[in-house]
Amino acid sequence: MSQELIDLSHPIHTGMQVYPGDPQVTLRRAAELETDGFEVAELHLGSHSGTHMDAPLHLIADGSPIDRIPLEHCTGPARIVHLDTPPAQSVISLATVRSQLSGLRPGTVVLFHTGYSRHFGTDEYLRHPSLAVEIAEFLLEHGVRLLGVDTLSPDPTSDSEQSEPVQLPVHEVFLGAGGLIVENLTQLHRASGTGWCFSAFPLKLRGVDGSPVRAVLTRQGAAADN
């Protein structure tokens, strides 16, 4: 039986777009095959660079760090919510997506496809739509512990120069309940039909609040015919 795979991850590279105020990404050769006999790269990046997972510790004082996340919480059957080009900086309401969330079962991973990943690396990407906090509450009520978005955040992205504390209500509710959030997904438009399984495993960074992931959708060949 064949297996279909879709890579939902952005490549990590020097100078890539990050959340305003986060550490910039720099990759450089620390050892070279020609002179040292082997290749080694030096990586400088934040824990939320590229496609990444937020652990509860990201926003919750006594929340779990990324190395304490059970692996079974990082994978599960996927429900992909496709949105019809929501306007920039709009707030997606529960009413807008409720029909696509019917019949949710505990352990389902819910991924929101807004199409904004096509703007990754541009100023427009900062103006992404966000989720209403009632969506986070609804997902938790139905046993969902992992949500993903193809944007910088499920909350609005704030100006890095603002003096007021950042407001992250979806993060507060979802991470506060022990949930996980994956941000900066891409290629969700390729995931048509049903039968998908989502996996995104973080690096085992001790005591850290998040980690880059390789996010993947998989589906057995037979499922594609159903």
Contacts of residue 130, Cβ cutoff 8 Å, sequence gap at least 6:
89, 90, 91, 92, 151, 153, 154, 155, 156, 170
Q: Which of 10, 48, 52, 58 is catalytic?
A: 58
How many C-beta neighbours within 10 Å does residue 91 have? 15
Backbone region of residue 15 per phi and psi (left: phi > 0; alpha: psi in -120 to 50; beta: other values) = left
And the tokens for 122?
């541009």
Q: How far apart are CA 1 and CA 205, in angstroms?
A: 35
Comparing CA positions, the residue from 218, 150, 157 lying closest to residue 181 is: 150
Query: Residue 58 catalytic?
Result: yes
Give catalytic residues, as residue numbers.
58
